[in-house]
Structure 1
Amino acid sequence: MKIIGIIASPRKEGNTAWIVNKILEGAKEQGAEVQSFNFSDLDIKPCQGCNGCKQSTRGCIINDDMQKLYDAIENADALVLGSPIYMGQMSAQAKIFTDRLYARFSPRFSPYFKCKNEAKQKLILAFNQGNPDSSLFQSYIDYTKHMFELLEFDVKEVPVVTGLRNGPAHKREDLHTALKDIGSSLALK
């Protein structure tokens, strides 16, 4: 099984990176081949809404680092997308990534939909927030999960790490095993 992680945070070595990498570590321990991409190392432009991807056989016509991610996604069995919650929603980096998925994935009801791979790709959506109230952004988290389901992903879990104003995720003993268990479970499904 091949699993890729997308770290959609402006902080290269912050909580989001640690969370995604801990999930991937659990998957790797179960024999999965893992690879991660840090948005901070990539030059990815926002979707231009030009529909060029729907009028071309080569997909998105924007020539940037998203092309690397398209290739990785195409060859992956599962994805782990990590984002901090900023202003009640995913980070700007996660939103750019999500919008650019339009070129590769369209819901069934779209007249443009062409499914190359009949099996749905598994997805873990991992969020983190400073606020300790795990229900504070639940409506947004539910909306985002549903959006990825419409994009033909099989959303397996949506862990939300809360209370990070009190210290970094890597110092929380309860998270080490819990996150690795999510990765292990993903690799075994």
Structure 2
Amino acid sequence: MKIIGFIASPRNEGNTAWTVNKILEGAKEQGAETQSWYSSDLDIKPCQSCYGCKQGDQGCIINDDMQKLYDAIEHADALVLGSPVYMGQMSAQAKIFTDRLFARFSPRFSPYFKEENAAQKKLILVFTQGNPDPGLFQLYFDYTKNIFQLLEFDVKEVQVVAGMRNEPAQERKDLHTVMKDIGSSLVSEQFPE
């Protein structure tokens, strides 16, 4: 099994990076091949709404680092998308990444959707936030899960890691096991209901 992590944070060594990499570590311990991608190391431009990706078979016509990610996602069985919560929603880096998925994964409500191209990639969404209430932005997390389901991703879990203002993720002993168990579950398909 191949699993990629996309860390949509401006900080390569922050809470979001730590949580995504801990999930990947748990998957790797179960035999998965893993790879992390950091948005801060990549040049990914926003979608230009040119619809060039829907004109023939060339895909997205923007020549930037998203091309590498398209290839990685195509060859992966699962994606772990991590984002800090900024202003009650995903980071700008996560939004640009999500918008650019349109070139490969058209939502069901789109006239460009082709049933035979349904992705069916497994997905874990991970949000880190400073506020200690994990349910504070639940409406947004549910909305985001729904968007990825419309893109034909098989959303296995939405993990909210709250209270990051007080203590970094790596210092919270409870998170070490929780994050690794999510990665393990992604490989074994044993997700709690």
TM-score for both structures, normalised by structure 2: 0.95
Amino acid corresponding to residue 150 of structure 1 in structure 2: L
May I ask how many residue pairs the two structures share in their alignment? Answer: 189
**Gap regions ≥5 residues in structure 1:** none
Are residue 172 (structure 1) and residue 188 (structure 2) matched? no
Amino acid corresponding to residue 40 of structure 1 in structure 2: S
Check whether the contact 2:6–2:81 (CA below 8 A) recurs between aligned residues: yes
Task: Show CA shifts across 1:149-172 (max 9, x none).
Answer: 000000000010000100210000
Structure 1's consecutive aligned runs of 4 or more residues displaced over 3 angstroms after TM superposition are: 114-119
Cα distance, 1:154–1:128 mapped onto 2, change above 3 Å: same
Amino acid corresponding to residue 13 of structure 1 in structure 2: E
Partner of 1:64: 64
TM-score for both structures, normalised by structure 1: 0.97
Are residue 124 (structure 1) and residue 124 (structure 2) matched? yes
Alignment of 1:20-31 (within 5 A): 20-31=20-31
Alignment of 1:95-110 (within 5 A): 95-110=95-110
For residues 48 and 187 of structure 1, the distance between their equivalents in structure 2, rounded to whole angstroms, comes to 36
SS in 2 for 1:96: helix
Task: Show CA shifts across 1:40-67 (max 9, x none).
Answer: 1100000001111001311000000000
Q: Percent identity?
A: 78
SS in 2 for 1:164: coil
Check whether the contact 2:119–2:152 (CA below 8 A) recurs between aligned residues: no
Alignment of 1:39-50 (within 5 A): 39-50=39-50
Alignment of 1:30-41 (within 5 A): 30-41=30-41
1:182 CA drift (Å): 0.2
RMSD: 1.1
Alignment of 1:133-172 (within 5 A): 133-172=133-172
For residues 139 and 147 of structure 2, the distance between their equivalents in structure 1, rounded to whole angstroms, comes to 12
1:113 CA drift (Å): 1.9
1:134 CA drift (Å): 1.1
Alignment of 1:12-27 (within 5 A): 12-27=12-27
Amino acid corresponding to residue 123 of structure 2 in structure 1: L
For residues 56 and 11 of structure 2, the distance between their equivalents in structure 1, rounded to whole angstroms, comes to 35
Partner of 2:93: 93
Cα distance, 1:144–1:119 mapped onto 2, change above 3 Å: closer
Partner of 1:11: 11
For residues 77 and 103 of structure 1, the distance between their equivalents in structure 2, rounded to whole angstroms, comes to 18
**Gap regions ≥5 residues in structure 2:** none
Amino acid corresponding to residue 182 of structure 1 in structure 2: I
Task: Show CA shifts across 1:86-117 (max 9, x none).
Answer: 00000000000000000000123422123565
SS in 1 for 2:22: helix
Partner of 2:81: 81
